[in-house]
Amino acid sequence: MQESILQIEDGRLFVRHRELHSSRSILLFVHGLGESGLCFKEAFESSDMNECGLVVPDMMGYGCSASVGSGDYSMESQIRRLWRLVDFLHLGSFYVIGHSLGGDIGTFMASSDTQKRIKGLVNIEGDLTPHDIFFSNKAVSAAEQGNFTEWFEKEFKEELVLKDWGSKWSSCRRYYASLQFARPEAFLANAKEIYQKNQALPGRRECLTGFTYADLKIPKIFCWGSESLAKGTQEFLESASLQHRKFKPAFHWPMIDQAERFYAFLSEFVQRSRDP
């Protein structure tokens, strides 16, 4: 694994990566809300990924990447920076593997990909229905009440993530580590947008993100953990006939909780997409 710090538009972007040869399938991994590229650490350790080029950035405002002077952490700006990264690395085509917020970002990247450079999308518990808003609504509510900082530092990070989830899942303890480097302003900005984009569409059970994901015409699959995905979203996956894969036992981070199985599956998905 190599590490680079690249000047991308309005800040310095930290990227973990490995051999990016044109003969290999390139995988761009996009982390979730409050996360960092550490959630994809096993990708570099898995023998199933040996034949793939890996690109794992920390989005602006998260992990080892810089904060943004303009204060713009919107999904649109994060997506724009990812496209700048893709161009900087001269990636002709690639797959997106997005977790949580990263699944949303991957969805909107693919939907606006007029050059058809994205060859497939693996959406790991991104948002499809209003049932998927795990804690974004709580972040928005805390901000409206004027106590976001206290909620973020104590109730969310210490009580929920570390003591509750972390007592059961090692993936959540790693999430807690990444949260120490997340800029609160980036977390809140993205939480607000997740909340806005994941209200049910009029007369439908899915949200804008879910509708956009379902409408994508590229190879795609939704991956989820047996102990985290809302029943309403499971029902939507079935009713919309969307291809999906459950990992058991796993929480919101199946690529950590079931790393060996997940990366073996990811390798198979990429291979099937390349050789239909």
The pLDDT tens digits of the residues spanning 203-231 come to 887 889 999 999 999 999 999 999 999 99
The pLDDT value given to residue 133: 84
Over residues 172-199, the pLDDT tens digits come to 999 999 999 999 999 999 999 999 998 8
Over residues 225-271, the pLDDT tens digits come to 999 999 999 999 999 999 999 999 999 999 999 999 999 999 999 99
Q: Which fold has domain 2-274?
A: Rossmann fold (3.40.50)
Instruction: Tell which wins on pLDDT, 55 or 206.
Output: 55
d(CA 61, CA 124): 21
d(CA 204, CA 149): 34
Average pLDDT, the chain: 95
For 220, residues 6+ apart whose C-beta sits below 8 A from its C-beta are: 110, 120, 121, 122, 123, 213, 243
| Model pTM score | 0.96
The pLDDT value given to residue 69: 83
The pLDDT value given to residue 270: 97
The pLDDT value given to residue 21: 81
The pLDDT value given to residue 51: 92
Q: Environment class of residue 47 by beta-carbon count within 10 Å: exposed (0-12), middle (13-18) or buried (19+)?
A: exposed
The pLDDT value given to residue 268: 97
Over residues 13-31, the pLDDT tens digits come to 999 999 888 788 999 999 9
Residue range 145-151: average pLDDT? 96
CA dist 147 to 139, 151, 154, 156, 243, Å? 9, 6, 11, 12, 40
Residue range 80-85: average pLDDT? 96
